[in-house]
Structure 1
Amino acid sequence: MPVAPAASLRSVRTLRGPGPLGAQVPGSGGAYWARLLPLLAALACVTRLPSFRWPLWSPDEGYLAVQARILAHGGELYETVVDRKPPLVPWLYEGSFALFGDSSLLPLKVLAVTAQLLTAVLLASLARRRWGDGAGRTAGVLYLLISIGLNPQDAQAATFEIFMLPCTAAAMWCADRRRWGAAGVAVACALLAKQTGGAVLLPVAWLLWRDGASRRCVARIAAGLCGPVLAAALLTTPSGFVFWTVTGSGAYASFTGSELHVLGRGLVNALVLAGACAGIVPPVVRVLRVARTGAPELWLWLASSAAAVLLGFHFFGHYYLQLMPPLALLGTAALQILPRERTARAIVATGCSCAVFLAWGFLAPRPDLAHAARLAEAVESRTGPKDKVLVWGIHPETYWLADRAPASRYLTAGLLTNYSGGRNGPQVGEKYAVGGTWPVFREELRRHPPTLVIDDSRGKPYGPDRVPSLRRILAEGYRPVLRVEGAVVYARVGRGGEGEGAVRGG
């Protein structure tokens, strides 16, 4: 259908925004937020309700919980406990455990609700500044409705991406208001929550360039960005910080091995997210056919976020959370030039999708968590509080559930075999481990042999039969004493004779 010139001009003007970086919308800000904040807070609480159903939702939460316990007892990040992630979220877990105890993730789940609410508020403020009061309400509501539009294990877990998102939104909010130093700090916080959070620097840099990119402004954003990152490196171990967050993940980021498996996962997660955005995608596509100009910083934000999802070639569902803030803003922008009833229809469609994901969250079973809990019970019954154990698997939550310290700084077999990232093909094994890990691992077990070793590989390609060093350690000092749903529990030989008995089922 042909579009009237006036409508086309209005399309371009609306998508671009009312000024160079958006003009302040007149009106009573206090009254506006007094009405909108309770709505967004209630919606954030409702959409995150499933997160409270289980003690934890994903191995990442288990990893963070174990890290935080080690740090609370004097451990050092990137030394006595390691991960490929920056330090901000482990520190957040550590702080929560210091204030509220380490037996529950409930405070972290509440913080995750707060993080999602803050993200929605920042997006609402961005949209309101550009397109008016109604657009602000639309952006905040749309974001919260799509925010759980993935597998519940990805969307409901209180992990890296959830705490990264308000930082990315804050970076755009500050850049939109020419607060370049604060924008740099926000980009740094996003980067320190997860490396891919730094992708928001691209749209921030575009806004800086569009504003003139004076030396003073460039210096401010550079100082804001570099200061927190350097401080984090100095507060940990600079060499360890660089290795574990940047240079030591070459094998992890490789595309080789399990290509079809990984691409299939990426396609499925993309389709799941598209279903969650059922109310947003059609307006955006419709508007693109009318006005292709649009707000370039929003498209750059989406493109840089998509590049971050692709980085590493793993396509886990929680990676896709990074796409949701720019999608919500682009959907809001598109709805501004369509008839008003289209906004209501978009929100209703998105709300219906949200209801499906909400039900999924309440009904989804957690067989992996149940298995980890049964393993934890077996470990707890066979060890004392001061005993150390080794769980050879990819579910570090077993340590946390059993309240037992790990015997190694490497909390999963993935770091020692490259099974991390869902690889299930030829690129898994001892020779594909993170560089330098096996000598350290062998020395840890030699100095402080674990009381129990739990082989939780259950037929996966990182089992002891494919890892010669681990097979040798088990053969020389351990005997199997128990099976728990396919996992084999090994006890150290000579410890009260426990390692001499036959294997018992469980």
Structure 2
Amino acid sequence: MYAEPLAQPRSVTPPRAGRGYWRRLLPLLTALACLTRVPSFAHPLWNPDEGYLAVQARMLAHGGELYETVVDRKPPLVPWLYQGAFALAGSDSLVSVRLLAVLAHLLTAALLAALARRRWGDTAGRTAGVLYLLISVGLNPEDAQAAGFEVFMLPCTAAAVWCADRGHWAAAGAAVGSAFLAKQTGGAVLLPVLWLCGASWGGLLRLGAGALVPVLSAAVLTDPAGFLFWTVTGSGAYASFTGSELHMLARAVANTALLAAACAGVLPLVARARTKAADLWLWLASAAGAVALGFHFFGHYFLQLTPPLALLATAALRTVPRARRNRALVTSACCCALFLTWGLLAPRPELTHAQRLADAIGRRTTPDDRILLWGIHPETYWLAHRAPATRYLTAGLLTNYSGGRDGPGVGEKYAMKGAWATLHRELATHPPRLIVDDSRGKPYAPDRIRSLRRLLAGYEEVAVVDGAVLHARAR
């Protein structure tokens, strides 16, 4: 374990020098954070994760219990954030959580600026904060602009390294634990934090205690057994490379290429740089491992790479002439503008489908009716203002279908443990007014799922909307 004094680098800027630094920088970062998130307000929803979280928040607000009647393979922090935002601003719009996402990006940028300033000076601090915001939009807009799990994980990971850089080990541990509570892979930031801690046993004890407090508190506030199952032990089949390997590999290459394009102005400098900040390289490597974990390579996973990339790029820019540095920043700004234009102009066919389907559901049900949506787009529940008839909001939890996985990894036997028995019990207690088959030829279609065909036996087809089939309960 590395144990040199690198754990607490001395500040380049005298403590009382430049007292107006943050008064000048924070308005700039705030304006840039707002500008780079303008596309996020262009659509009511960006991806199924937002829809899932919105439905969960409504269920929690109506008495649902996390990891009991409200379930997902994720920790509780972001569902709680959605629930809190909806309590303050209503659940008919995601504007409130989008504003929280802007704040999360701003906080991440400010923490990175503080890290860079402490190590390399005022100019480096400004560069790191600005660079992060520019490259953080460099993915498909449905990944970069959504108020998803990774967005709220990023300030926690940045805070963990910020605290470790100053030797605040208990606070660093609490930040690591909070990152895990936003999304499990956020815990990967523990590696650079451990590097900075070195062999200090007192620091390690405080770090461990700090990390355990928020995690154990979340387990106690929910259901400890359910928390453990849904966040750690129950996702073995999901975190597998089996099924559609070429599809997943293509997604990994595509999203890597998108992020590389967003970093085109600085990536060549980072690749050639001889930056000795080993903790930053370890941060990047651990984030890359977190992206690969589970072998799904969704675009929003890649957001975890952007904070260490911004810091490494800042370190690399310090060693080049001013003209080269300016070109790199201008190139990054131009790439950012292209991604923002994409976000504002790109069509959203799946959202349009979900809206049409929600309208059809609304015409055939009342607000008190429950429905079962058999698909992977839970946002339809939210758009239709209808309560789900089950805790399982997607077919993925009942078949292990996710992100294009096909073949031997999809089917009833790959469902979450006990899911089908629970589903049958819930539907017997509260039979849904409609069952909406939104599989549209996917591997979890009724002709491949025997239990679903049995459920549909008591229903009759009443409408077809863009390939989705609505089945009403026979009278």
Q: SS state of the match for residue 351, structure 1?
A: helix
Q: Which residue of 2 aligns with 1:409?
A: 391
Aligned partner of 1:335 in structure 2 is: 317
Q: Is it true that 1:258 corresponds to 2:247 in the alignment?
A: no
- 1:183 and 2:172 equivalent? yes
Equivalent pairs: percent with the same residue? 68
TM-superposed CA distance for 1:326, in Å, is: 0.1
The answer to whether residue 400 in structure 2 is matched with residue 418 in structure 1 is yes
TM-score by length of 1: 0.91
1:421 offset after TM fit, Å? 3.5
**1:204 matched to 2:193:** yes
Q: Does structure 2 conserve the Cα–Cα contact (< 8 Å) formed by 1:68 and 1:90? A: yes
Q: C-alpha separation between the residues in 1 aligned to 2:184 and 2:381? A: 26
Partner of 1:464: 446
Q: How far has the Cα of 1:19 moved from its partner?
A: 8.4
Aligned match of 2:473 in 478, 487, 492?
A: 492
- Partner of 1:23 in structure 2? 11
- Tell whether 2:62 aligns with 1:73: yes
The within-5 A match list for 1:46-57 is: 46-57=35-46
RMSD across aligned positions (CA): 1.3
SS in 2 for 1:30: coil
1:209-257 CA-to-partner distances (Å, cap 9, x unmatched) read 0xx41x3222211111001100100111111100011011011001111
The answer to whether the 8 A contact 1:258-1:425 is kept is yes
How many Å separate the matches in 1 of 2:136 and 2:422? 41
Q: In 1, Cα distance between the equivalents of 2:10 and 2:181? A: 29
Tell me which amino acid in the other structure corresponds to 1:490.
H
Residues 278 and 350 in structure 1, CA contact (< 8 A), matched pair in contact too: yes
The aligned residue for residue 4 of structure 1 is none
Query: Could you say if the C-alpha distance between residues 429 and 243 of structure 1 is closer, same or farther in structure 2, counting changes exceeding 3 Å?
Result: same
User: What's the offset of the Cα at 1:278?
Assistant: 0.4
* Residue aligning to 1:8: none
Q: Is the 1:69–1:94 Cα contact (8 Å) retained in structure 2?
A: yes
Report the secondary structure of 1:219's partner residue.
Answer: helix
- The answer on whether the counterparts of 2:8 and 2:167 sit within 8 Å (CA) in structure 1 is no
Measure how far apart 1:28 and its partner are. 3.2
Q: Could you tell me which residue of structure 2 aligns to residue 281 of structure 1?
A: 267
Q: Contact 1:314–1:422 (CA<8 Å) still a contact in 2?
A: no
Query: 1:248 and 2:234 equivalent?
Result: yes
User: How many pairs does the alignment contain?
Assistant: 471
TM (normalized to structure 2)? 0.97
Mark the runs of 5 or more structure 2 residues left unpaired by the alignment: none
> What SS does the aligned partner of 1:172 have?
helix
Choose the corresponding residue for 1:443, options 425, 431, 444. Answer: 425
1:156 paired residue number: 145
Classify 1:304/1:325 alpha carbon distance in 2 versus 1 (closer, same or farther; 3 Å). Answer: same
Deviation digits for residues 436-457 of structure 1 (CA, Å, limit 9, x no counterpart): 1111111111111100000000
Superimposed CA distance per residue, residues 356-414 of structure 1 (whole angstroms, 9 cap, x where no aligned partner): 10000001111101111111111111111111000000000000011110000000000
Q: Give the Cα–Cα distance (whole angstroms) in 1 for the partners of residues 236 and 360 of structure 2.
A: 36
SS in 2 for 1:426: helix
The structure that has the greater radius of gyration is 1
The match for 2:102 is 113
Which residue, 452, 474, 483 being the options, matches 2:464?
483
Within 2, Cα distance between the matches of 1:380 and 1:394?
Answer: 19
Partner of 2:341: 359
Question: Aligned letter for 1:486?
Answer: G
Deviations 1:141-194 (A, max 9, x none): 110000100000000000100000000000000000101111011001100000
Instruction: Report 1:25-174 matches (<5 A).
Output: 25-26=13-14, 28-174=17-163
Could you tell me which residue of structure 2 aligns to residue 474 of structure 1?
Answer: 456
Moved more, 41-50 or 332-341: 332-341
Question: Counterpart of 1:230?
Answer: 216
Report the Cα offset of residue 337 of structure 1. Answer: 1.3
Letter in 1 for 2:445: G
* Residue type of the alignment partner of 1:378: A
Measure the CA separation in 2 of the matches of 1:180 and 1:353: 37
Secondary structure of 1:85's aligned partner: coil
**CA distance in structure 1 between the partners assigned to 2:64 and 2:13 by the alignment:** 50
**What SS does the corresponding residue of 1:488 show, helix, strand or coil?**
strand
d(CA) in 1 for partners of 2:75 and 2:6?
38
- Contact 1:428–1:461 at 8 Å: present in 2 too? yes
SS for the counterpart of 1:76 is coil
Q: Does the 8 A contact of 1:451 with 1:491 survive in 2?
A: yes
Paired position in structure 2 for 1:326: 308
SS in 1 for 2:439: coil
Amino acid at match of 2:363: S
- Report how far residue 24 of structure 1 moved: 4.9
CA–CA separation in structure 2 for the residues paired with 1:469 and 1:309: 34
Whether the 8 Å CA contact 1:18–1:130 is kept in 2: the answer is no
The CA distance in 2 between the partners of 1:323 and 1:274, in whole Å, is: 11
Contact 1:17 1:130 (8 Å CA) reproduced? no
Residue identity matched to 2:438 = D
CA deviation after TM superposition for structure 1 residue 425, in Å:
2.8
> Which runs of 5 or more residues in structure 1 are unaligned?
1-15, 495-506
Measured after TM superposition, the shift of residue 17 of structure 1 is 11
Shift of 1:21: 2.4
Give per-residue Cα distances to partners, 1:49-81, cap 9 Å, x unaligned.
Answer: 000000110100000000000000110011101
Query: 1:337 is matched by which residue type in structure 2?
Result: T
Q: Distance in 2 between matches of 1:420 and 1:153?
A: 16
Provide the rounded CA distance (Å) in 1 between the counterparts of 2:360 and 2:401. Answer: 25
Match in the other structure for 1:395? 377
Structure 2 distance, partners of 1:376, 1:153, is: 20
